[in-house]
Amino acid sequence: MSSDTDLHLIQSELCEGILTIRINRPEKKNALNLAMYRALSEGLRLAGDNDAVRVVVIAGTDGCFTSGNDLADFMAVPPTGGDSPVMTFLQAISTFRKPIVAAVTGSAVGVGVTMLLHCDLVYAVADAVFQLPFVNLGLCPEAGSTLLFPRLMGHQRAAELLLLGEPFSAEQACRVGLVNEVCPAGELVALVGRKALQLAARPAAAVRLTKELLKRDFAAELENTIAVEGEYFIARLESPEAAEALQAFMEKRKPDFNRFS
Ligand code: COA
């Protein structure tokens, strides 16, 4: 559950035209609660409006990018519609006009992976582990990922990641086109900093226009897919399978789906 004390869980720092937004809740593997989604959306809104911001970097903490949506929130305060904090964040990141660079450390799970589809450059440490466990949780994919994953890597590879929901390596993420480059853990900050500075030095209007053109042919379809997936996702959260999966996570046991047809 979110509270006012959650405000420090998203930290922002502007330096040389680069706004770094850091997800900072390591004790919960940077799981995103409602306040954090709101802070991320607000951070992007302010970054979009501020001419001093030329590039946004999204990062986690040492050993974790984000473990995705807070599963306790899914049980206590599930999203109910298009104006929920998670949907607002997805709208904000998927339509953000300036370049976004992601720095992936450690675990990237659920929306921690699907948000990468809306970043422009993605760098990961060699021991980062990615996972899309939506089906395992009785849910369905979100963030436009049922459109963007097959587009990026083809149906079979997307189906393998989304239907089996097994962890996959940074090297595999690079092979399927989700990640630009993999580096040793100690080199990520320098690599991301270098790329972000390069982007910040380019003519900003040309960068924005190129990003817009790169996404132009699927922008409307993406918006629609995010909305449709969101409706199914919200409905699935009320399913008995999801209830069992979430309860099992809380009780630190394996879920038992045998009684569901
Ligand atoms: N929501 C809420 N709490 C979470 C969380 C999440 N998404 N991910 C981790 N946590 C909590 C754990 O419950 C645990 O809390 P506790 O110390 O109070 O028991 C703490 O963070 C540490 O997690 P733990 O599972 O012990 O760390 P790990 O290093 O063994 O595993 C993950 C890390 C990310 C692989 C594992 O925590 C995980 O799979 N989390 C769930 C991811 C998920 O399903 N996300 C939703 C996708 S839609």
pLDDT in tens, 39-49: 999 999 999 99
Instruction: Summarize the confidence of residues 126-131 as an average pLDDT.
Output: 98
Res 124: pLDDT: 98
* Mean pLDDT, the chain, integer: 96
Asked if 87 contacts 130 with a C-beta cutoff of 8 angstroms, the reply is: no
Residue pointed to by tokens 């963030």: 143
Asked if 146 contacts 232 with a C-beta cutoff of 8 angstroms, the reply is: no
- Within 10 angstroms of residue 204's Cβ, the number of other Cβ atoms is 18
Ligand 1 center from residue 28 Cα (angstroms): 6
Is the CB of 71 within 6 Å of ligand 1?
yes
Ligand 1 center from residue 64 Cα (angstroms): 10
Is the CB of 110 within 6 Å of ligand 1?
yes
Q: Structure tokens of 116?
A: 């990468």
∠ Cα 88 231 178 (to 5°): 65
Give the residues across from 22 on adjacent strands. 11, 59
- Between CA 211 and CA 198 the distance in angstroms is 15
N- to C-terminal Cα distance for the chain? 32
What confidence tier does 1 reach under pLDDT thresholds 50, 70, 90? very low
Residue pointed to by tokens 């979430």: 246
Residue ranges of alpha helices (H) inside 1-153 are 34-49, 71-76, 85-94, 111-114, 145-153
What confidence tier does 260 reach under pLDDT thresholds 50, 70, 90? confident
Q: Structure tokens of 176?
A: 């399927």
Residue 3 has pLDDT above 70, yes or no: no
Asked if 68 contacts 110 with a C-beta cutoff of 8 angstroms, the reply is: yes
Is the CB of 183 within 6 Å of ligand 1?
no
Q: Whose CA is nearest to atom 12 of ligand 1?
A: 28
Q: Structure tokens of 90?
A: 């997805």
Res 6: pLDDT: 62
- Ligand 1 atom at minimum distance from 71 CA: 1
Is the CB of 142 within 6 Å of ligand 1?
no
Q: Which of 30, 67, 127 best tests ligand 1's pocket when mutated (most atoms within 8 Å of CB)?
A: 67
- Between CA 73 and CA 110 the distance in angstroms is 14
pLDDT tens-digit readout, 187-228: 999 999 999 999 999 999 999 999 999 999 999 999 999 999
Phi–psi pair at 166, nearest 5 degrees = -85, 155
Residue pointed to by tokens 């999204």: 58
Q: Structure tokens of 229?
A: 């997936």
- Between CA 123 and CA 174 the distance in angstroms is 9
Q: Which residue from 154, 153, 160, 156 is spatially nearest to 176, judged by alpha carbons?
A: 153
Instruction: Summarize the confidence of residues 148-164 as an average pLDDT.
Output: 98
Ligand 1 center from residue 163 Cα (angstroms): 20
Ligand 1 center from residue 84 Cα (angstroms): 22
Task: For residue 14, give the H/E element and its range.
Answer: strand 10-15
Residue 2 has pLDDT above 60, yes or no: no
Ligand 1 center from residue 249 Cα (angstroms): 8
Res 194: pLDDT: 98
Is the CB of 128 within 6 Å of ligand 1?
no
Residue 5 has pLDDT above 70, yes or no: no
pTM recorded for the entire structure:
0.97
- Between CA 25 and CA 29 the distance in angstroms is 6
Res 7: pLDDT: 64
Asked if 107 contacts 64 with a C-beta cutoff of 8 angstroms, the reply is: yes
- Between CA 85 and CA 87 the distance in angstroms is 6
Asked if 89 contacts 41 with a C-beta cutoff of 8 angstroms, the reply is: yes
* Percent of the chain at pLDDT exceeding 90: 96
pLDDT tens-digit readout, 74-124: 999 999 999 999 999 999 999 999 999 999 999 999 999 999 999 999 999
Is the CB of 109 within 6 Å of ligand 1?
yes
Ligand 1 center from residue 72 Cα (angstroms): 10
Ligand 1 center from residue 229 Cα (angstroms): 24
**Could you give the domains of the chain?**
1-184+204-261 (3.90.226.10)
Give the pairing type, strands 10-15 and 18-23.
Answer: antiparallel
Ligand 1 center from residue 67 Cα (angstroms): 6
